[in-house]
Amino acid sequence: MRIVFSALLLALAATNADAVDFNCEGCSPAQMQSKALGFGRGEHRIYSFSTSTAFVFTVTCSNAQPNGAAGPISDNVTAKQSPDSSPQAAGCTNGAQLQVMTSPLSPEENTAFILARDFFKDHPKNNQGADLTYNARNTSYGSSVYQILNNYPARQNLFNDIKEDINGFKQYTAVLAAAVLAGFNIISNRVIIQVTFQDGSTVQVVYDGNLHTFEVIPSTARNNVGNPIVESNSMGYAGHYDLVGADVGEYLNYLRSLGIPIVGGGSGGIRASCVWDPAKNTLTCKIL
């Protein structure tokens, strides 16, 4: 079995006087400072994993002083107040301009940043996040997606394997815990997990880092050639389903276990037409 994770980075919208955590990948300290000014007033943490660079930029009006002293942002660039006359300064009163003070991350923030940097170094990002793979041989939840869709103990066995056996997942949860401790929005609190079973069937699972829970994502189950699978006896699954590539007999037994009546065709059919009967609150699948 293969399990693929997608760990999505947060990209938070910024308004004046808001705090923003922003991944400015490949940016120089000067570019980060300019980005902070563009976000407006607030305390902004801007970082780049590829350059191992991260700073806190406190943007205020020139007639107000931020708390604390500024520190160096690198070995050869020092913190400074930089007045700005751009339109972003319009939120300041009495003709004041925006200014920015730069300081290093706190120890807690720096720990979260380093853990996140190392995580994405080990598991490079794609458009959705980071990919992790896991080849499992545990059959406590069966060799096919059908077992976990309609079997609570089987789902829990799968979720336990994800938590216990996959180093990348443990690495992710360590990053998340450090980020929560530092109040640093450097990694998403939700991970999408693509699960591939031994027969090639698949389903997606989501982990909620706030609640520490897993759930199967509805309408993501696929048979071993990628065709959608009916997941419950509900009107949302009315429609046509290709049975090519599936063990049709096993599929039909699975549908019956959901309380879905099967009519026509038998196990030799290659397509199912499922119709919702509102009077009976039942989905009936005809094998063609």
**Does residue 63 share a domain with residue 100?**
yes
Residues 90 and 124 in one domain: no
Q: Does residue 87 have a pLDDT over 60?
A: no
Strand partners of residue 45: 21, 56
- The verdict on residue 87 lying in a domain is yes
Q: Which tokens go with 180? A: 């929560």
What is the arithmetic mean of pLDDT over 122-140?
A: 63
Whether 157 is covered by a domain: the verdict is: yes
Q: Tell whether 96 and 115 lie within a shared domain.
A: no
DSSP characters for 173-219? HHHHHHHHHHT---S-SEEEEEEE-TTS-EEEEEEETTTTEEEEPTT
Structure tokens at 254: 């699975």
Domain boundary among 62, 85, 104: 104
Q: Considering 104, 127, 148, which residue would you say is the last residue of a domain?
A: 104
Q: How high is the mean pLDDT of the chain?
A: 80
Q: How far apart are CA 115 and CA 119, in angstroms?
A: 6
pLDDT (tens digit per residue) in 46-86: 999 999 999 999 999 886 544 443 333 333 233 334 444 44
Would you state the pLDDT for residue 59?
92
∠ CA(24), CA(28), CA(70), 5° rounding? 95
Q: Is 35 helix (H, G, I), strand (E, B) or coil?
A: helix
Q: Are residues 174 and 264 in the same domain?
A: no
Assigned token pair, 37: 């000014």
Specify whether 127 is located in the same domain as 178: yes
12 or 120, which is more confident? 120
Residues 176, 17: Cα–Cα separation, whole Å: 26
For 262, the domain range is 235-287
**Domain assignment present for 222:** no
Distance CA 195, CA 214 (A): 13
Percent of the chain predicted with pLDDT > 70: 77
> C-alpha angle with apex 34: 29 to 37, nearest 5 degrees?
130
Distance between CA 174 and CA 21 in Å, rounded? Answer: 19
Q: Which two tokens stand for residue 199?
A: 């027969």
40 in any annotated domain: yes
pTM of the entire predicted model: 0.73
pLDDT tens, residue by residue, 145-200: 888 898 899 899 989 888 887 778 888 899 999 999 999 999 888 878 888 888 88
> Do 144 and 90 share a structural domain?
no
